[in-house]
A and B are shown apart, each in its own frame.
Chain A
Amino acid sequence: MILLDLELKDSPGELLKALTPISEMGINIHSVIHLREKKSDGKVPVRIVLEDLDEETLEKIVERLEESGIVVTKVNNKVRKMDIDVVVIGHVVDTDIRDTIDRLNKYGLVVDLDLTMPHPFKESSARMRIIVDSKNLEDLCREMEKLSKEKDLLFIKSF
Chain B
Amino acid sequence: MKVILVGFGVIGRGVIKVIKKKREYLKKKYGMDIKVVAICDSSGAAIDERGLDLDLALEVKRKKGRICEYPGKGVTLPVTEVIRSVEGDVLIEVTPTNLEDGEPARTYIIEGFKSGKHVITANKGPLALYFQELMSYAKKYKRIFRYEASVGGAMPIINLARETLAGNEIIEIKGILNGTTNYILTKMEREKLDFDTVLKEAQELGIAETNPYQDISGLDTAAKIVILANSIMNMNVTIRDVKIEGISRITPEALTMANKGGYTIKLIGEVKRNKLEVGPKLIPLDDPLNVKGSLNVAKLYTDLAKEVIVVGRGAGSIETSSAILSDIINIYLQTSRG
Spell out A's residues near B (CB within 8 Å).
40-41, 85-87, 89-90, 114, 116, 123-127, 129, 154, 156-158
Contacts and interface: CB of A to CB of B under 8 A. Distances in A.
Interface residues of B, number: 20
Given A154-B245, A158-B282, A127 B262 contact: no
Interface string B264-285: 0100000000000001111110
A89 B280 CA distance: 11
Contacts of B279: 156
Nearest to B266: A156
Contacts of A123: 249, 251
Contacts of A40: 261-262
Interface string B230-264: 00000000000000010001110110111011110
A85 B249 CA distance: 18
- Chain B interface, >50% SS class: mixed
Given A87-B254, A114-B261, A154-B249, 18 more contacts: A41-B262, A87-B258, A87-B261, A87-B263, A87-B265, A90-B249, A116-B256, A116-B257, A123-B249, A123-B251, A126-B257, A154-B245, A156-B279, A156-B280, A157-B282, A158-B263, A158-B281, A158-B284
Nearest to A154: B249
Nearest to A126: B257
Contacts of A116: 253, 256-257
24 contacts: A40-B262, A41-B261, A41-B262, A85-B261, A87-B257, A87-B258, A87-B261, A87-B282, A89-B249, A89-B250, A114-B257, A114-B260, A116-B257, A123-B251, A125-B254, A127-B257, A129-B261, A154-B245, A156-B254, A156-B280, A157-B281, A157-B282, A158-B263, A158-B282
Interface centre among B245, B250, B251, B254, by most chain A C-beta atoms within 10 angstroms, is B254
Contact of B253 (A85, A125, A156, A158): A125
Contacts of A86: 282
A125 B281 contact: no
A156 B261 contact: no
Give me the 10 closest cross-chain CB pairs, A-B, nearest first.
A158-B282, A40-B262, A125-B254, A127-B257, A156-B280, A116-B253, A125-B257, A89-B254, A125-B253, A87-B258
B181 to A, nearest CB: 14
A41 B285 CA distance: 13
A90 B254 CA distance: 10
A127 B258 contact: yes
Interface centre among B251, B256, B261, B265, by most chain A C-beta atoms within 10 angstroms, is B261
Contacts of B261: 40-41, 85, 87, 114, 127, 129
A157 B282 CA distance: 6
A90 B253 CA distance: 11
Nearest to A128: B261
A85 B281 CA distance: 10
A101 B261 CA distance: 19
A125 B265 CA distance: 13
A42 to B, nearest CB: 11
Contacts of B265: 87, 156
Contacts of A89: 249-251, 254
A127 B245 CA distance: 19
Nearest to B279: A156
